[in-house]
Structure formats: structure tokens, C-alpha cells
Structure 1
Amino acid sequence: MVKAVNTRSVDQELVKGPVDKAMEVLDALVQPGGPHRLGEIARRTGLTKPTVHRHLRTMAEYGFAEPAEGGSYRPGPRLLGLAAAALNDSRVLELTRPVLADLRRRTGHVAFYAVRHAADAVYVERSEPAREYRMSTAPGQRSPLHACGVGLAMLSALPAQEVEAVLDPRGLEPRTPDTPAEPAAVRTVLAQAALDGYAVDDEYEEPDVRSVAAPVLDADGGVVGAIGVMGLTFTMDAESVQVFGPMVRAAARTVSAGLGARTPALGVVDGASRGERP
């Protein structure tokens, strides 16, 4: 929820240190839809305008922010360079990019990779087909774990203790009327995702948008991220989900195998878990 600007008292602000405040300003600065005005960043962070301006001025001096038209700011060249260097040095993204491109070609939908930060999924990479409409999975965008396909996919592969830490009813805010916003409802979705090997976001995050995602694991079986595809509901119906789900699951397992994970053979464990014959 966007916070009201300048409603936080100076005493409340002092609870957080300068580094905490700088990180909040930086996070707001890189959100989609920029460049962002000073007042908008203040609303997002709940910090006062003078505090935000002071941090932006310092970031601009070091190249992490850059003034834009109308008193707004955008990410600076040094920040962009650091981000590019980090992404190019990522083993998982090196493995993921060709897999996403293949998924995009085979499904005709935007394919994307996300990682977890606390109770959010953060979109890191995407491969998008040329079309008249665009999906809201821009790199850097955050979504609650319980309200998106990649988030549910990651939750489905996490240890139970970590899942329960996320399923605090106070944090399960609905994004749409269909969002599973009660712990029991989320557990039901996760149980099905664990059984299938992929999670389905059935208009949980946005109306008329559906996605399918599967977790990516490392050599120790830990959750690294999740791969998914997303489309409008009229192009990704229930039958399409049955086709795309195994494709996304296989893509995630390909990346996981590249990271050293031991993944089950497709069509054997999955069929047995449903009581099907091999």
C-alpha cells in the first residue's frame, strides 16, 4: 500500500538509520513507470521530502541516480552498470535466458524468471514476444508470493517452516477477488502445485491474467527462483494450462539440472503421484 507523504513524524523516521532510508529510496527509484518525482518517492517510502531529496542528491553525486525532467529522478548510469555486471555474472541467468527464449517461442507467451525476497517475488528476467499488449512482469517488479504463479511455485518447494512464516494472515492481502488470501486457501494451492510440479496463478494477481510457473532448485535442493509463462485468460485457458504446465516444469528442471540439482524423471514420478500407470 502506498504510504501518505510526510505523515511520519521525525521521531518515527529516526528509528531507521541512514542506510535503511537510502535503500528504501533506491528501491522506489527503480520501480517501473519512472522517472519518479520526489513526492512520489516520498509517498512510496513514507519518508519526508527533505529526507528523500537529501538521499537522491547524494545518489546523483555518485551516479546512482540522475535528475530528469520536471524535478523527477531516474536510475543513474553507475547503478545501471552495476546491475548489468551482476546479471551478466549470474550462472542461473546464463542458464535461464535460452530456456526462457525457447519457452516464449513454443508457447507464444511472455516467459520470465523471478527470485524470492522475503515475502515477495522479484522479476529478474523475461523474454517477451512481439504483440499489441504487454504483460506487467518488468524486471524489478515485485509481487506477493501468495498472489503470483512464480511466488506460489517457490513456496511449493520451500520447507514447511519457511512457508508458515510467509502465511501470516496479516500479510496475505488480496490483489483480486480470486487471490487466495487465507492460509488454508494458500496451502491448498501449494499442495496441488507440489503434486503437479508447477503452480497456476488463476487471476490471483491481475484480473484476466493467468500464469503457470515452476521452481528452480540448486544442487542442495534449495529454491533459487522460478520460471513461468503468462498470458491473458482468453489465450491461456484451462486446456492451455494443461499443456504449458509440463513445459514450464521441464524448463525449470533443465535450469535446475544445470545448477547440479537432482530432478525426477519426467512422466514417471509425476504419473505415480497421481496414481496413474507408467
Structure 2
Amino acid sequence: MSSLSKLLSVLDLFGPQTLKIDPDTIAERMGLSRATVYRYVKDLCDAGLLTRVDAGSYGLGPRVIELDWMMRQYDPILLAGRELMHELSAQTGLAVFASVFYDGRIINTYIAEPSDTYHFSFGRGHPLPFFRGAQSKVLIAFQKGRRLQRLFEEHMANDPDSPYDWASFSKAAKKIRKDGYCLTHDELNLGLTGIAAPIIRPDMDEVVGSLSAVGSSQSFKLLRQETVIEMVMDTTRRIAENMRNPPSAPAS
């Protein structure tokens, strides 16, 4: 591993349960000397990737926010689908999520909400549990071939709390692929229902993300589940089509 890779791997120590960290912990977890850790921390602070948050502890810095802003201006899914997401949210009164799968993680990259009525356990940027919740299940189920089995082995095979063995996991994933969507109740937030469908680039035959509509189970009864399912799937198709001919990035 190069020195640059080691320096940047300090950022991998942060997570939902580790929002700030001190140099001693970095040294212990990475097996580095204190002198090396302090040099890394200084370089990352100078780059704006870390910032001192209290005596002896560091958190992610303002450069991360700047990079996040730039990503949202040029992200292909958001360029192709941001307006469609808000349109779907306005039509249904539901929150609409764009989600992606990368490096074994599922995260929501954008949320269009009709109001601040809902309080989601997993908001934008917060990694979702593996194969729990409509977004997570859709993105995993549409992984191809041996990659699906490898993901099961890495994330679920040795988890004593997992309700799945390989046979039941494979069967559940196959059903989602056959249906073309996933419907879940109460899996991430009690009282909420989610419907997710994959965003598949027709020119690449590749799943690049998912779109989901989330709201109270009562709202879905009023709207008719079948109607929402078709609206979500139609929106994903329109987003995928837009991605073939993406619009220009909006001017700042």
C-alpha cells in the first residue's frame, strides 16, 4: 500500500458510530507510529478533509461538504432524475429516495420529500443495513451471478442474527428480480412502507442505482399499492432513458 493510500485510509475509520477520532486510536487501529499519525492528520487537515472538533479529536472537514456539493451537481442519476423524483413525491405525497451500491455499502444519495413529516432512521449518506429495506434488497438482488453469492458469504453467512441461509436468500433475491421491484413493511422504520425498483441502464444492462417511494403504511392504502409500484417503476425507466442523453449540469 502506498503512503498516499495509507494516508487516505484514515478516512475509512469514520462511520456512523465513529464520527470523531483521536490520534491514539488512529495509531492503534492502523498500526502506525504516533509521529506518522500526526503527520497524516496534519496533511488531511491542510487538505480540508479533517478538522479539529475538540481537544485531541478530529472529524471530517469542510472539503468533504464541498466534494458532496460537486457530486450532486454532476451525479448522472441526479441529473437524469432529480426533477422526476420531486414530481413523483408531489404526486404521491411520499418521500422518494435515490440509492446506490458501492464497495459493499448501500447509501441514499438524494431524498425528495413533500414535507418534513417523516423521520427516517437512515437518511442521506447513512449506510443502510445489508438486505433490509426495499432500497437495500433491490440493489443487492440485482447483482449478477457469483457476485450475489459472494455478497451473501461476506455479509450474512456468519451473522447469527440473519434470518436467511443461502437457499432462502437466493430465493428472495430471485423473486425481486422476477417482480422487478421490492416491497417492504416496517423493516427500517416502524409504520412505514417502502417500494423500490432498480435503475437499469439499457445501453449497459447494468444496475446503477435504485429509486424508492417511502411513506406511512396508511398512505399506501389510500394510494393503492399497485398504483405506486407502477409509478415507481415508470420513473426508474424514465431516469434510465434520460441517462442515455444526460442534460447539462445546472449553472451555479
TM range (shorter): 0.7 to 0.9
Greater shift, 114-123 or 180-189, is seen at: 180-189
1:131 to 116, 134, 142: 116
- Look up the SS of the partner of 1:38 in the other structure: coil
1:143 to 128, 132, 140: 128
1:159 aligns with 2:114: no
- Look up the SS of the partner of 1:68 in the other structure: strand
What amino acid is aligned across from residue 38 of structure 1 in structure 2?
A: I
Q: TM-score, normalised by structure 2?
A: 0.76
Q: Distance in 1 between matches of 2:220 and 2:23?
A: 35
Q: Distance in 2 between matches of 1:111 and 1:24?
A: 32
1:9 corresponding residue in structure 2: none
Indicate if the aligned counterparts of 2:107 and 2:126 stay in contact, CA closer than 8 A.
yes
Structure 1 residue 239: Cα displacement: 7.8
Cα deviation 1:118-138 (Å, max 9, x = unaligned): 332122111123234311332
2:184 to 193, 201, 219: 201
What amino acid is aligned across from residue 202 of structure 1 in structure 2?
A: H
1:274 corresponding residue in structure 2: none
1:190 to 173, 180, 198: 173
2:231 corresponding residue in structure 1: 247
2:196 corresponding residue in structure 1: 213
What amino acid is aligned across from residue 252 of structure 1 in structure 2?
A: T
Q: Distance in 1 between matches of 2:83 and 2:191?
A: 28
Indicate if the aligned counterparts of 1:227 and 1:252 stay in contact, CA closer than 8 A.
yes
Structure 1 residue 180: Cα displacement: 4.5
Distance 1:144 1:22, change over 3 A: farther
Cα deviation 1:153-193 (Å, max 9, x = unaligned): 1233332222222121x522799x8x653222222322222
1:226 corresponding residue in structure 2: 210
What amino acid is aligned across from residue 95 of structure 2 in structure 1?
A: V
Distance 1:239 1:78, change over 3 A: closer
Gaps of 5+ in 1: 1-15, 262-278
Q: Distance in 1 between matches of 2:107 and 2:165?
A: 22
Indicate if the aligned counterparts of 1:108 and 1:129 stay in contact, CA closer than 8 A.
yes
2:104 to 119, 126, 132: 119
Gaps of 5+ in 2: 246-252
Structure 1 residue 222: Cα displacement: 0.6
Q: Distance in 2 between matches of 1:40 and 1:226?
A: 38
- Look up the SS of the partner of 1:191 in the other structure: helix
2:65 corresponding residue in structure 1: 80
What amino acid is aligned across from residue 234 of structure 2 in structure 1?
A: A
- Look up the SS of the partner of 2:209 in the other structure: strand
Indicate if the aligned counterparts of 2:111 and 2:124 stay in contact, CA closer than 8 A.
yes
Q: Distance in 2 between matches of 1:98 and 1:140?
A: 20
1:62 aligns with 2:47: yes
Indicate if the aligned counterparts of 1:214 and 1:249 stay in contact, CA closer than 8 A.
yes
What amino acid is aligned across from residue 71 of structure 2 in structure 1?
A: A
1:103 to 43, 64, 88: 88
Greater shift, 236-245 or 99-108, is seen at: 236-245
Q: Distance in 1 between matches of 2:211 and 2:229?
A: 11
Q: Distance in 1 between matches of 2:112 and 2:53?
A: 28
Structure 1 residue 225: Cα displacement: 0.7
Q: Distance in 2 between matches of 1:251 and 1:105?
A: 13
- What is the Cα-based RMSD across aligned positions, in Å? 3.6
Q: TM-score, normalised by structure 1?
A: 0.70
Structure 1 residue 98: Cα displacement: 1.0
Distance 1:207 1:46, change over 3 A: farther
